[in-house]
A = this chain, B = another copy of it.
Amino acid sequence: MERASLTDISLYRPIPAAQVPAWDFETDVAIVGFGATGACAAIEAAGTGARVMLFERGSGSGGASALSGGEIYIGGGGGTDAQRAAGFQDSTEDFAAYLKAAGGPCADEAKCALYAREALGHYAWLKAQGVPYRGNYLPGKHIEPTDDSTLIWSGSEAAAPFCDIAKPAPRGHVIAHMGWGGGRPLVDVLEARARSLGVEVVCDARAVALVKDGERVVGVVVRIENQDRFVKAAKGVILCTGGFVFNEDMRRRYCPETLRLSSPIGDQDDGSGIELGVGAGGDAIHMEQYFSTCPWTMPEPQAYGVFVNEAGQRFINEDCYHGRVSRTALDQPGDRVYLLLDIAHFDQPLEMAGLTIAGTGDSWEEVEQELGMAAETLSATMAFYNAHAKEGRDPLFGKRTPILTALNQGPFVALELNFRTSYFSFFTLGGLRTSTDGEVLTREGKPVPGLFAAGRCTSGLPAWGHGYSSGLSLADCTFFGRQAGRKAGAA
């Protein structure tokens, strides 16, 4: 039988099932993308008894998940074992309130409420899949845990305004692992579990189109060794393809503020799943949202610094999550901000961060002058800050001790975080609109029959760049990946 010509195959519109020359693969649930999202979707779909195939464009599992630290944001319900052992009785109400605040104007309240209610069960499920946790608590503020302690503060919980919205608790739960990143071992555990359940994995297989029969998605076309292969998915297709940080055209159309940043992070996040989903009738929402952070809290003494913009003004309580500080920095006028430190809190900046020493002096007045700022701008900001820090107060932004501390031991330094040249890593947060079951929703709010999605090709728990906390994306990927797998498998 004649193959459909390549010109018919497009990310942007599904091909009609009638044009499929022959099915090369037949399964119940076809999953696209083998990061943590795809793995969790596969495990749950297989658990329903459905046949499951997983297609990955790379040569193996991983995706952006494997590049992460492996934290998953978990709490509520009185607290996890690790939270309770550390003395935190995290309530579901507080957890839900934090999630909603973290979603800001883009919060999906139904997703926040569902995850807050079910996160403890999700934690138990992760353990049941074989994800190991040591169970101990690492107090203090860390970008990435310095060891594999289970429980860390990974967001803005203890900082204003979040601490007034929800009782603070640490909620970043990190897999027990060796070495730097917990993301790779997390995906490995989930992959092993999926394979043990009979999930058939096909790598080097890039999804290039969906197949529709009337209104229903009934399959997917994958390109393998430059051949289009047709996959019949009797129960549905689940898109787990990640965001669009590596698609400059999409960023220009939907998220142009990121064009000045130079350090996209992700794996092969080219937005193809979003295009497939929209082409099949799905809605893409909050596409302008993005996470960004510059590793300004490393080395650790820098976490005690004060940020000012080009006008010499502070703009945030620097004790909140590093990504929230960084994202707010990017809102400031001009193209750079400064991190101010005294000698008691200065250490050689990480080379990879791309921070440069923009000014030094024996007084804040001298630093101000070296930066070319007007007199009594930065220096007045620091005089005000120091005077109140000594009293343990930050009248402007509510920063708290111990991060709130006077910077009054000269010499002084201003490190420049330049939006174009410093290491502002970023990834996109907007994507397909989905139900709490992982169904892709149309612009009318109705499910596209047979089409599911989860993770960063959707808009989920980490919906708002200013509210991001470490572990929110993996929580969203793993939990809502599961919902999608279960819903598709039971279809």
- Which residues of A come within 8 Å of B, CB atoms? 10, 12-13, 105-106, 249, 253-254, 256-257, 259-260, 275, 278-279, 281, 283, 285-288, 311-314, 316, 331, 333, 373-374, 376-377, 380, 384, 388, 395-397, 433, 442-445
CA distance A331 to B328 in the complex (A): 10
CA distance A312 to B397 in the complex (A): 11
How far in angstroms is the closest Cβ of chain B from A116?
20
Verify B374–A396 contact, CB threshold 8 A.
Answer: yes
Verify A254–B311 contact, CB threshold 8 A.
Answer: no
In the complex, what residues of B have CB within 8 A of residue A443's CB?
A: 12, 253, 275, 278-279
CA distance A257 to B288 in the complex (A): 12
Verify B285–A253 contact, CB threshold 8 A.
Answer: yes
CA distance A283 to B377 in the complex (A): 45
Verify A380–B380 contact, CB threshold 8 A.
Answer: yes
Question: What are 24 A-B pairs at a CB distance below 8 A?
Answer: A10-B444, A12-B442, A12-B443, A13-B281, A105-B256, A105-B257, A105-B260, A254-B286, A256-B286, A278-B443, A279-B443, A286-B288, A287-B287, A287-B288, A311-B396, A311-B397, A312-B396, A313-B313, A316-B333, A374-B395, A377-B384, A377-B395, A377-B396, A380-B380
Among B13, B105, B312, the residue within 8 A (CB) of A259 is B105
In the complex, what residues of B have CB within 8 A of residue A374's CB?
A: 388, 395-396
CA distance A373 to B384 in the complex (A): 13
In the complex, what residues of B have CB within 8 A of residue A249's CB?
A: 445
In the complex, what residues of B have CB within 8 A of residue A376's CB?
A: 384
Shortest Cβ-Cβ A-B pairs, 9 listed: A374-B395, A105-B256, A288-B288, A311-B396, A253-B285, A105-B257, A313-B313, A12-B444, A12-B443
